[in-house]
């Protein structure tokens, strides 16, 4: 406390007992001379090895600048880190407002240097490309940035086609080819999050350096994100489409099994008659006898039944075709999921054949 008279009497008496001071009321006389407190503070500082804040101000400024440039921490986190570093270095803490002003100025300088660095990486022609993302095309309700940062929402052929078209559009911007050496990945990710989540109208209000730096980081992030969205890591997974097509094709094959079973029941009965009476047959049997097993088998209406034979033949061909074609047959025979994406794949992908 600046005024010793504000110290509670109980505390003063307790300390007087520890220091072997008989009269604790002498504490009231401590502030009669202005230099007494400063002299004692200097003696305590020297005895404890504490340093004054002015001696380490430049060192602390450089440390805060490096931390703000690398991590992008907020003012509260930087303030706590600075206070902790001062305590570890046995430095007398300055006033809270003085330290807060230092932290704020260092953080703002680090942010401005980041924006200027990214802005300088863009050529004059490239600077117009990010700005075009903030415009709203005629007849549309959202900007190009709002449209491109929305990925697929479900697994389907049309969504996969849209995801591949999104990859092509973002790659055509050419921002993914911009080299950003020396930029901490965390700072680039921080800028991209602001660009992905922020409104286009708010981005337009920033300065040119901050606006273009944010849009550059956003497009660099969207370049890799769009590829992930169009692959297994995103919602448009071709293997899922293929699995769905295979399941629907398998269901279609199962629907043919009752017809095959009905067509095979009567021939199976006829063959069972032959197998049961094989031991009774002989070359002397009179096949003209209508009760002869051979005559019964020949008279079976299913031996020459073309319809059942055709049904079995179609089923064998279908099963054989499914085994030969593997996963291509269900993909081609399930247009509901893949009809929208097949023309796009045929135009943009080259498949190697052995």
| Model pLDDT for residues 324-342, shown as the tens digit of each residue | 444 445 544 555 555 555 5
Are 347 and 167 contacting, i.e. CB atoms less than 8 angstroms apart? no
pLDDT in tens, 82-128: 999 999 999 988 999 999 999 999 999 999 999 999 998 888 888 88
> Average pLDDT for residues 165-178, to the nearest whole number?
78
- Quickly list DSSP for 163-190: HHHHHHHHHHT-GGG---TT--HHHHHH
Task: Please state the separation of Cα 116 from the chain's center in Å.
Answer: 28
Alpha carbons 163 and 228: distance in angstroms, whole number: 9
Please report the pLDDT score of residue 58 as a whole number. 95
pLDDT in tens, 22-49: 888 888 777 777 777 778 878 888 888 8
Please give the model's pTM, rounded to 2 decimal places. 0.57
pLDDT in tens, 260-319: 666 666 677 777 766 666 645 544 445 455 555 555 555 555 444 455 555 555 555 554
Please report the pLDDT score of residue 131 as a whole number. 83
In the three-class reduction of DSSP (H, G, I as helix; E, B as strand; rest coil), residue 153 is classed as coil
Residue ranges covered by each domain of the chain: 52-120, 131-229, 238-348
135 torsion bin: left (phi>0), alpha (psi -120 to 50), beta (else): beta
- End-to-end, the C-alpha distance of the chain in Å comes to 87
* Percent of the chain at pLDDT exceeding 70: 64
| φ/ψ (deg, to 5) at 231 | -115, -165
pLDDT in tens, 203-261: 888 898 999 999 888 888 888 777 777 765 444 455 665 676 677 777 776 666 666 66
pLDDT for residue 57 is more than 90: yes
CA angle, corner 87, sides to 74 and 112, nearest 5?
25
Contacts of 234 (CB under 8 A, 6+ apart): 151, 152, 163, 228
Please report the pLDDT score of residue 61 as a whole number. 96
DSSP state of 124: T
Please report the pLDDT score of residue 101 as a whole number. 96
């Amino acid at each position: 406390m600046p005024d010793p008279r504000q110290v509670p009497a109980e505390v003063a008496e307790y300390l007087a007992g520890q220091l072997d001071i008989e009269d604790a009321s002498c504490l009231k006389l401590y502030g009669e001379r202005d230099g007494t407190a400063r002299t004692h503070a200097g003696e305590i500082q020297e005895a404890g090895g504490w340093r004054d804040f002015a001696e380490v101000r430049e060192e602390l400024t450089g440390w805060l600048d490096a931390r703000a440039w690398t991590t992008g921490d907020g003012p509260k986190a930087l303030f706590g880190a600075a206070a902790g570093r001062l305590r570890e270095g046995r430095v007398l803490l300055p006033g809270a407002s003085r330290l807060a002003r230092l932290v704020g100025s260092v953080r703002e300088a680090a942010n401005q240097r980041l924006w200027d660095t990214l802005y300088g990486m863009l050529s004059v022609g490239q600077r117009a490309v990010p700005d075009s993302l903030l415009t709203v095309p005629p007849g549309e309700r959202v900007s190009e940035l709002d449209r491109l940062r929305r990925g697929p929402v479900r697994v389907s052929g049309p969504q996969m086609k849209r995801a591949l078209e999104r990859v092509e559009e973002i790659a055509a911007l050419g921002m993914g080819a911009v080299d950003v050496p020396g930029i901490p990945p965390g700072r680039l990710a921080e800028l991209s999050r602001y660009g992905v989540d922020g409104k286009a109208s708010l981005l337009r209000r920033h300065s040119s350096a901050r606006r273009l730096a944010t849009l550059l980081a956003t497009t660099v992030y969207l370049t890799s994100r769009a590829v992930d969205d169009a692959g297994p890591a995103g919602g448009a997974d071709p293997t899922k489409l293929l699995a769905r097509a295979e399941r629907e094709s398998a269901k279609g094959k199962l629907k043919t099994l009752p017809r095959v079973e009905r067509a095979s029941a009567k021939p199976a009965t006829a063959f069972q008659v032959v197998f049961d009476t094989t031991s009774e047959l002989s070359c002397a049997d009179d096949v003209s006898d209508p009760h002869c097993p051979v005559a019964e088998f020949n008279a079976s209406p299913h031996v020459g039944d073309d319809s059942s034979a055709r049904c079995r033949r179609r089923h064998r061909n279908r099963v054989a075709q499914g085994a030969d074609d593997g996963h291509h047959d269900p993909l081609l025979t399930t247009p509901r999921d893949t009809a929208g994406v097949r023309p796009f794949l045929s135009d943009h992908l080259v498949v190697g054949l052995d």
